[in-house]
């Protein structure tokens, strides 16, 4: 597909997936509908929520025809919900939004301005603030400057690349050409897509402008799955290695079996990596919720497992510009 014509207004679909997200969903939808860019619609995929999520979307639909709803008859997971969003979007460009996050005013225009400067890009990623359950800002995510050369090097070394995807602008035909999101990736479906884009040398442009707020709270999907989420990141690394070696990808159950039969020193080293990340994430959620005792012991245990890791992460999160 040829690069977008800057003389034609690009149609954008703000893609939002939800599962039992009624508490924060109205804020997310309001932030989407208040975007000042004139040519967009909002597509919500409800993954068979058991709360009021679908009713909330229908209420917004009655008031604003730009809102569309696709509902799963049964709960299929976030990867399948993202697949449904990609399959049903009306636009070639998607703005990604989760039901507990929010877009900043003018973020769609900011993303499209970066796209206009980088017409070969297939994804545009900006920065996001971290917010707590009350919507108060408690920190900021950083983004790495990327180039095709850097992405190529990361792919060759087997280094996964992940972004906070709140407000990210992604080229829908590219997602489809890669086989769409993978439903079996559970909470790692977004990172898996970034990796496959990187491996195929699709240009991902990052920039320093803030485009969204990413909510940290204990009820989020990533927080609830905990250690499982960290193990899936290791699974992604194993899959990258398989692809580089020309071998079939290892399935999730086979990956878990490989871990079980590892020699004890290797198994301990793996669990050290997994739990340092799990504890650090738990500390972040505890800070967002004002659970200071949980913050203290989680951060202390993470530091004991890997002092350098915690120091680097704290510096990047708290002190980096």
Q: Are residues 145 and 267 in the same domain?
A: no
Count: domains in the chain = 2
pTM of the model: 0.84
Q: Which helix (H) or strand (E) holds 93?
A: strand 93-98
176 and 314, same domain (yes or no): no
My answer on whether 75 and 143 are in the same domain is yes
Do both 33 and 167 map to the same domain? yes
Same domain (yes/no): 180, 253: no
pLDDT digits (tens, 9 = 90+) for 3-27: 555 567 899 999 999 999 999 999 9
Strands 12-18 and 93-98: parallel
Q: How far apart, in Å, are the Cα atoms of 299 and each of 214, 229, 281, 321? A: 21, 18, 9, 22
The answer on 268 and 311 residing in a single domain is yes
pLDDT surpasses 60 at 1: no
Say whether both 50 and 170 belong to one domain.
Answer: yes
Per-residue model confidence as pLDDT tens digits over 30-86: 999 999 999 999 999 999 999 999 999 999 999 999 999 999 999 999 999 999 999
Domain limits for position 32: 12-217
Question: Does 258 share its domain with 302?
Answer: yes
The pLDDT tens digits for 229-245 are: 678 888 888 888 898 88
Is the torsion defined by CA of 57, 41, 137, 217 positive or negative? Answer: positive
> Do 314 and 177 sit in the same domain of this protein?
no
């Amino acid at each position: 597909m040829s690069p977008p014509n800057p003389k034609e207004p690009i149609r954008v679909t703000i893609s939002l997936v939800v599962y039992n997200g009624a508490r924060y969903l109205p804020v997310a939808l309001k932030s989407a509908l208040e975007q000042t860019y004139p040519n967009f619609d909002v597509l919500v995929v409800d993954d068979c929520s058991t709360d009021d999520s679908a009713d909330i979307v229908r209420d917004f639909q009655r008031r604003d025809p730009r809102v569309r709803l696709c509902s799963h008859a049964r709960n299929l997971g976030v990867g399948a919900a993202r697949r449904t969003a990609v399959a049903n979007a009306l636009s070639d460009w998607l703005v990604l939004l989760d039901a507990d996050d929010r877009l900043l005013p003018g973020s769609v225009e900011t993303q499209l301005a970066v796209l206009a400067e980088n017409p070969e890009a297939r994804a545009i990623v900006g920065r996001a603030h971290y917010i707590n359950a009350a919507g108060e800002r408690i920190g900021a995510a950083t983004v790495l400057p990327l180039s095709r050369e850097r992405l190529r090097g990361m792919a060759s070394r087997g280094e996964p690349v992940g972004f906070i995807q709140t407000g990210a602008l992604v080229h829908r035909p590219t997602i489809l050409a890669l086989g769409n999101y993978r439903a079996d990736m559970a909470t790692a479906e977004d990172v898996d897509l970034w990796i496959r884009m990187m491996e195929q040398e699709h240009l991902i442009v990052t920039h320093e402008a803030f485009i969204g707020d990413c909510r940290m709270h204990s009820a989020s999907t990533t927080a609830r799955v905990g250690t499982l989420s960290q193990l899936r990141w290791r699974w992604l690394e194993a899959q990258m290695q398989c692809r580089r070696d020309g071998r079939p990808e290892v399935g999730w159950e086979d990956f878990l079996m490989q871990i079980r039969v590892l020699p004890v020193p290797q198994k301990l080293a793996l669990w050290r990596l997994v739990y340092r990340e799990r504890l650090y994430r738990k500390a972040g959620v505890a800070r967002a919720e004002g659970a200071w005792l949980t913050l203290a012991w989680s951060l202390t245990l993470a530091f004991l497992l890997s002092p350098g890791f915690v120091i680097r992460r704290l510096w990047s999160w708290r002190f980096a510009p």
